[in-house]
Amino acid sequence: MRLTVLGGGGFRMPLVYRALLEDTGDEAGRCTELVLYDTDPGRLDAIRAVLAEQAEGRPTAPAVRATTDLDEALRGADFVFSAIRVGGLEGRARDERIPLGEGVLGQETVGAGGVLYGLRTLPVALRIAERIATVAPDAWVINFTNPAGMVTEAMQRVLGDRVIGICDSPVGLCRRAARAVGADPDRATYDYVGLNHLGWLRRVVVNGRDRLPELLGDTAALESFEEGKLFGAEWLRALGALPNEYLHYYYFNREAVASIRQAPATRGEFLREQQARFYATAGSGAAGALQAWERTRLEREATYMAESREATGGWERDSCDLDGGGYDRIALALMRAIARDERATLILNVRNRTAVPGLDEDAVVEVPAVVDAGGARPLAAGAVAPDQLGLMLTLKAVERAAIEAATTAAGTEAGTDSGIARGAALRALALHPLVDSVKVAGRILDASGALDRP
Ligand code: G6P
Ligand code: MN
């Protein structure tokens, strides 16, 4: 089986490879060939050096090939993981800084920053989807590319339900909540509903009983893990559900923005320096690439969402917070369920159909879905609380305005459509609940150059 990774020179690639190495099952349905595609040959070299060290002494390690030619990478692929970062960390830093300059949240996927990131990424993701439709029409596509909900929905317009989006934050929340009530996370079922980076865990069912009410009543247990510390027991009890960690940017917006503005560097700026050091070391050809990667990874994970933690008392992430389940393991579980027709229930970004009443059929939602060789089908979520549904509807309108802006700008000749694309982009930014004025949205759009043609 052949797996192609778009963005294969990315920093998280060794995590995926590690998960592939751990899969020692029989050959059918196991990845035997890995193709890394990236636009940057230097990054491919560095990551290949890490993977080579990982594969030492592993006779069943998948063969690795690298290319900067998209069609060549796609041809013959059974699965395509898309994990690209259009504009690199330089682009991320700008997505953060420009909104912060206007006093609103500057973050990779939430708020104005997420919209800017989407506007830059969507045309590229759509072009990739078209190449997949032509060159590898039978491949399954697993999308990690952020903003994952928006990008998955756009790619589905070209490829349909063969595109499935993933994120590690819902499963991380679920597993932490289960552990907090002393349950085995693998033996619980979870009622989680939302969009990507905008969801709520509503029930944690163990042996037929919902344990969330008990958890909500126990302040110590509740505040023992990441989301409990971020939101505080009082708010979680008032809400009656456990929000995804990204909802901290909504519910505690003022504090989050203040904390990010005070930090010496944004997340993107920090990672830009950190990652440059890693790629220089790993690409140098000397031994020790794996060690350098591991060191960098630990530092990266330990500093994740540092500003939100700073704003809520300055606590450190502990090992329980870090063991979320990981992108890599979710992606592999999804790939195995499809390739081996082994039924599994995973929280995924899929087309709604009728799972969430109040959202239309084609809206990509993040909910538990049953996966087998036929793909992923969402489980019925049942009624959603009005505040949650309201936010989901608003953010879905934001996502769709961004998709409209990107498709209009990408599809036509320069100059003829800029008014339409600008209007849609302005809607995407100004309708976002974390952007407080249309004027602010307009200035952010102008400063970003999002609609300038390459
Ligand atoms: C989580 C989210 C991803 C996001 C990542 C950012 O894993 O689910 O969607 O890309 O965090 O982590 P970073 O280390 O890049 O700030
Ligand atoms: Mn995510």
Nearest atom within ligand 1 for CA of residue 300: 14
pLDDT of residue 28: 81
> So what's the pLDDT on residue 378?
98
Report pLDDT digits (tens) over 360-375.
Answer: 999 999 999 999 999 9
Write out pLDDT tens, residues 132-163. Answer: 999 999 999 999 999 999 999 999 999 999 99
Residue 161 CB less than 6 A away from ligand 1: no
Ligand sitting nearest the alpha carbon of 165: 2
For residue 172, the model assigns a pLDDT of: 95
- Binding site membership of 444 for ligand 1 (Cβ less than 6 Å): no
Confidence of residue 327 (pLDDT cuts 50, 70, 90): confident
For the chain, percent of residues with pLDDT exceeding 70: 96
pLDDT band for 411, please (50, 70, 90 cuts). Answer: low
- Give the pLDDT confidence score for residue 194 in this predicted structure: 98
267, 304, 323, best to mutate for ligand 1 pocket (most atoms within 8 Å of CB):
304
Q: How far is the CA of 428 from the centre of ligand 2 (A)?
A: 20
Residue 349 CA to ligand 1 centre (angstroms): 16
- Nearest residue CA, atom 10 of ligand 1? 146
Mutate to test the pocket of ligand 1, among 92, 117, 143, 167 (most ligand atoms within 8 A of CB): 167
Does residue 300's CB lie within 6 angstroms of at least one atom of ligand 1?
yes
Which residue did the predictor score with more confidence, 286 or 347? 347
| The pLDDT of residue 412 | 57
Across the chain, what does the average pLDDT equal? 95
User: What is the reported pLDDT for 451?
Assistant: 80
- Whether ligand 1 lies within 6 angstroms of the CB of 267 is answered as yes
Q: What's the pLDDT at 24?
A: 83
Q: Quick check: 370 and 346 in contact, CB under 8 A?
A: no
Give distance in angstroms: CA of 250 to centre of ligand 2.
Answer: 16
Mean of the pLDDT values across residues 214-243? Answer: 98
Residue 123 — very low, low, confident or very high, per pLDDT cuts 50/70/90? very high
What does the pLDDT look like over 331-340, one tens digit per residue?
999 999 999 9
pLDDT tens-digit readout, 58-106: 999 999 999 999 999 999 999 999 999 999 999 999 999 999 999 999 9
The answer, yes or no, to whether any atom of ligand 1 lies below 6 A from the CB of 43, is: no
- What's residue 408's pLDDT? 85
Please tell me the least confidently modeled range out of 190-194, 306-310, 361-365: 306-310
Distance 153 CA to ligand 1 centre (A): 19
Predicted confidence (pLDDT) per residue in 167-184, tens digit? 999 999 999 999 999 999
pLDDT at site 166 = 98
pTM assigned to the model: 0.97
CA of 448 to the centre of ligand 2 (A): 23
Nearest ligand, measured from the Cα of 349: 2
